[in-house]
Amino acid sequence: MMLEAYLLLAAALFSVGLFGALSQQSVVMVMMGLELMVNAVIVTAAALWLYTSPQSPDGQVLVLVAVTAMAVEMAMGFAVTTALFRARDVDMVDMAADLADRGGPGDHGGHGGGGER
Amino acid sequence: MTETVVFAVCAVGAVASGAAVFAVDSMARATFALLASFLFTGTAVLLLGLSYLGVLVVLMMVMEMMVMAVFMVMYMMNPAGLMPMSMVHNRNGALAVSAGVFLLLAAGVVLVPWPEAGGAPPADPAFALGEAVMGRHMLVMMLVGMVLFATMVAATVLATSRGRYDRYGDDLRREHPDDPIGGGLGR
């Protein structure tokens, strides 16, 4: 019964994080949503370890990998935010939508990278 | 019994402060709401008997949120909620998608017949984890180390404002790099 409770907690955290990652415009807030989603993976792996296979440490190794993924996500996310801000003065995801298919706000946000140093 | 109560408090607190991240109108408050959410989850992991990983999660999150607070100040659009502004797009669509995902995951959680635990957890789970990453799962440890190193290099390269064309000229033929501070090997 406790396993289901932990997995429901993880599902709720994942959904909240997904909502944030989908709806926020600031790059930093999108990263917060992603962190909540990775956090859900940590809870899931830890709960599955204890309640289904406590004798083999595979679940714990998965928690370790998720913690690393979170650190990498944070470091690379802030590095990309900084690079984007330096190149184009942009800190909103809508203004960095150059690769998007259809015309949108992204077509007006950028004024060419690399011009100003 | 105590464990159930503590877990319930942690679960409700983690989800509530996680939701508060996207509800409060200041990015600084959002950072600390996220920190609260991580502390609640870390406590839940501690309840599972993973004392080493639980403490690791808590310590890492505290440091990470301190770093995040610095970046928040750098990229803050709405300091301390002085000028409330909406920074969302397609809110209803995102709500619908995330609610749908939650219902799907919850259905899976309730409907899947989860296997029973085969035996008791080891006396020292941290010792078992250490044995695993230094033995059968050593590939994981090696990959994690490589990925972290690559992240350090890539993050520094991305975050610096000077590239090779600034240092060696447009045709990369400059004899000595043009650095604000001289030094380095062979100079």
pLDDT tens, position by position, A5-52: 999 999 999 999 999 999 988 888 888 999 999 999 999 999 999 999
Given this model, what pLDDT does residue A84 score?
86
The answer to whether the CB atoms of A52 and B45 lie below 8 A apart is no
Q: Which domains are assigned to chain A?
A: 2-89 (1.10.287.3510)
Mutate to test the interface with A, among B7, B38, B41 (most CBs of A within 10 A): B41
The model carries a pTM of 0.85
Mean of all residue pLDDT scores within chain B: 87
Which structure tokens are listed for B9?
A: 């408090």
Torsion of CA A50, A51, A53, A54, to 10 degrees: 30
Contact A19 B88 (CB under 8 A): no
State whether residue A2 sits within 8 Å of chain B by CB: yes
Q: Does A65 touch chain B (CB under 8 A)?
A: yes
Q: Are A86 and B163 in contact (CB under 8 A)?
A: no
**Concatenated DSSP letters of chain B:** -HHHHHHHHHHHHHHHHHHHHTTSS-HHHHHHHHHHHHHHHHHHHHHTT-HHHHHHHHHHHHHHHHHHHHHHHHH-SSGGGSS----BSSHHHHHHHHHHHHHHHHHHHHHS-PPPP-SPPPS-HHHHHHHHHTTTTHHHHHHHHHHHHHHHHHHHHHH-S--HHHHH-TTS--SS---SS--STT-
What ipTM was predicted for this assembly? 0.86
Which of B57, B101, B127, B153 is the mutation pick for testing A, counting most A CBs within 10 A?
A: B57
CA distance B175 to A24: 47
User: Quick one: what percent of chain A has pLDDT higher than 70?
Assistant: 85
Q: Is A58 on the interface with B (CB under 8 A)?
A: yes
Least confident of B22-31, B32-41, B60-69: B22-31
Residue whose C-alpha is closest to residue A117's, from A92, A89, A95: A89
